[in-house]
């Protein structure tokens, strides 16, 4: 296993070293020209980038070099992950830190709080220019939005994962990590909110979603598109997310040890209220209804949702469709029922915002404003 890992990293390292021999340290060329090396690369000050490792497939191992499913996520430690890409040292002063080691389907609110607090601590330091978080891809979209709302700094934060384990032929982890460090150390990424980068692409943490169970191009921003690419040893941005993020939000996780419980009720033909009622009985403070279409709600679900609302639970209408805006008072009279529309957030992202909103208020008008704003 270990020798497989070494072999795959060595192969990638050799290829990357060859590329860097042609264009070293070009990440620091902010001229907008191609990634050619500065004349005196020794004079260039490298950015200080901390790599926070949390597990996932990028730290996964398989039984053989051709194992790309059925592998074990979250096996490789942070130092091994970082040392496996020696090219990182040419583009940044990098150091790794293991924050936790999990497959990201097991991500809990405690993990999110711990990660956000650690990033905020590090970014307060003058000697930290940017952060990279290595993460399982399954819930990257939740973590990226949570950090986008709770990191209190304009310095770059880039989340990266991999779709193939570190032991696989053509493992995508090393190049994805290399690109993430390039972005995190770049001036171009300052003030752009939390970013997600895989497959040479950069997406906004608020907007990105996983769209394919297993392919390397799984991360997309439906309809709106990605922010840019990484090519030629530098990030190329073409647009930014317009919503308030990071230092401009009202959310602050300092002093928080837990978050209000918010659950997702999935809408489907022949839907019943068994799950909803159980969530409410178990103490949910908020429910995101992932309805079909434009956040539609079946007739049989309206009374149970209104009963939940009367019991103090915040009800957010979202959609299982995967893109588009929920029209407030469109499919349902939200004003009359005192429900909230999720704007264009998918249910899993709406859940993150509602949890944070509930740390500030339980006023539905204020919460609706947050959904328009963030």
Q: At its nearest, how many Å lie between ligand SIN and the CB of residue 56?
A: 4
- Rule CB under 6 A: is residue 185 a binding residue for ligand SIN? no
Which of 8, 116, 120, 137 touches ligand SIN (CB under 6 A)? 137
- The piece of 55-63, 110-118, 222-230, 363-371 that touches ligand SIN (CB under 6 A) is 55-63
Biggest alpha carbon distance in the chain? Answer: 70
- Rule CB under 6 A: is residue 318 a binding residue for ligand SIN? no
In angstroms, the CA 52 to CA 151 distance is: 14
Tokens at residue 11, please?
């192969």
- Rule CB under 6 A: is residue 104 a binding residue for ligand SIN? yes
CB 92 within 8 A of CB 47: yes
- Rule CB under 6 A: is residue 61 a binding residue for ligand SIN? no
- The piece of 50-58, 178-186, 232-240, 296-304 that touches ligand SIN (CB under 6 A) is 50-58
Nearer to ligand SIN by Cβ, of 138 and 331: the residue is 138
Q: Please provide the DSSP assignment of 276-333 as one string.
A: HHHHHHTT-SEEEEEESTTT---HHHHHHHHHHHHTT-EEEEEESSSSS---TTSSS-
C-beta atoms surrounding 225 within 10 Å:
14
Catalytic-labelled residue, pool 14, 54, 57, 72: 57
Which of 76, 163, 189, 208 touches ligand SIN (CB under 6 A)? 163
> Which residue spans within 128-261 are E strands per DSSP?
130-134, 157-160, 195-198, 201-204, 209-210, 219-220, 228-231, 234-237
Nearer to ligand SIN by Cβ, of 73 and 132: the residue is 73
Q: Tell me whether strands 130-134 and 157-160 are parallel, antiparallel or unpaired.
A: parallel
Q: At its nearest, how many Å lie between ligand SIN and the CB of residue 58?
A: 6
Which of 12, 73, 189, 340 touches ligand SIN (CB under 6 A)? 73
Q: At its nearest, how many Å lie between ligand SIN and the CB of residue 300?
A: 35
In angstroms, the CA 119 to CA 28 distance is: 23
Torsion of CA 355, 360, 364, 369, to 10 degrees: -90
CB 234 within 8 A of CB 35: yes
- Rule CB under 6 A: is residue 57 a binding residue for ligand SIN? yes
- The piece of 134-142, 243-251, 323-331, 358-366 that touches ligand SIN (CB under 6 A) is 134-142
- The piece of 6-14, 51-59, 167-175, 232-240 that touches ligand SIN (CB under 6 A) is 51-59
Confirm whether 57 is a catalytic residue. Answer: yes
Task: Note the Cα 164 to chain centre separation in Å.
Answer: 18
The site for ligand SIN, by CB under 6 A, has a size of 12
Residue of closest CB approach to ligand SIN: 136
CB 171 within 8 A of CB 308: no
Nearer to ligand SIN by Cβ, of 55 and 347: the residue is 55
In angstroms, the CA 173 to CA 102 distance is: 16
- Rule CB under 6 A: is residue 246 a binding residue for ligand SIN? no
Closest C-alpha among 152, 180, 8, 190 to residue 92: 180
Nearer to ligand SIN by Cβ, of 57 and 241: the residue is 57
- Rule CB under 6 A: is residue 136 a binding residue for ligand SIN? yes
C-beta atoms surrounding 310 within 10 Å:
10
Nearer to ligand SIN by Cβ, of 104 and 120: the residue is 104
CB within 8 A of 120, min separation 6: which ones? 150, 151, 152, 153, 253, 254
Q: At its nearest, how many Å lie between ligand SIN and the CB of residue 96?
A: 17
Active site residues: 57
Binding site for ligand SIN (CB under 6 A): 55-57, 73, 103-105, 136-138, 161, 163
């Amino acid at each position: 296993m270990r020798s497989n890992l070494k072999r795959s990293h060595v192969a990638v390292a050799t290829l990357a070293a060859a590329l860097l021999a042609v264009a070293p340290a070009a990440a620091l060329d902010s001229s907008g020209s191609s990634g050619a090396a500065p004349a005196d690369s020794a004079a260039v000050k490298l950015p200080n980038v901390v790599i926070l490792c949390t597990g996932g497939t990028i730290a996964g191992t398989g039984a053989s070099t051709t194992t790309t499913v059925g592998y074990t996520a979250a096996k490789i430690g942070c130092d091994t992950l970082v040392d496996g890409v020696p090219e990182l040292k040419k583009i940044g002063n990098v150091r790794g830190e293991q924050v936790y080691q999990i497959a990201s389907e097991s991500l809990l609110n405690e993990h999110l709080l711990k990660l956000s607090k650690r990033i905020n601590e590090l970014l307060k330091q003058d000697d930290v220019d940017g952060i990279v978080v290595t993460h399982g891809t399954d819930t990257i979209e939740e973590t990226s939005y949570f950090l986008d709302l709770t990191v209190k700094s304009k310095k770059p934060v880039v989340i990266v994962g991999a779709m193939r384990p570190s032991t696989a032929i053509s493992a995508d982890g090393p190049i994805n990590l290399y690109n993430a460090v390039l972005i995190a150390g770049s001036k171009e990424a300052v003030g752009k909110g939390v970013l997600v980068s895989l497959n040479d692409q950069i997406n906004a943490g608020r907007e990105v979603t996983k769209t394919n169970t297993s392919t390397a191009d799984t991360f997309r921003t439906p309809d709106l598109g990605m922010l840019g690419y990484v090519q030629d040893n530098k990030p190329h941005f073409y647009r930014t997310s317009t919503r308030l993020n990071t230092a401009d939000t009202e959310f602050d996780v300092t002093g928080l040890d837990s978050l209000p419980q918010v659950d997702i009720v999935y809408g489907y033909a022949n839907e019943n209220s068994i799950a909803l009622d159980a969530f409410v009985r178990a103490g949910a403070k908020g429910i995101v209804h992932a309805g079909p279409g434009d956040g539609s709600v079946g007739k049989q679900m309206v009374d149970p949702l209104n009963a939940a609302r009367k019991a103090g639970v915040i009800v957010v209408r979202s959609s299982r469709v995967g893109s588009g805006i929920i029209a407030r008072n469109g499919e349902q009279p939200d004003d009359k029922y005192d429900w909230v529309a999720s704007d264009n957030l998918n249910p899993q992202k709406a859940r993150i915002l509602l949890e944070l909103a509930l740390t500030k208020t339980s006023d539905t008008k204020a919460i609706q404003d947050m959904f328009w704003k963030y």
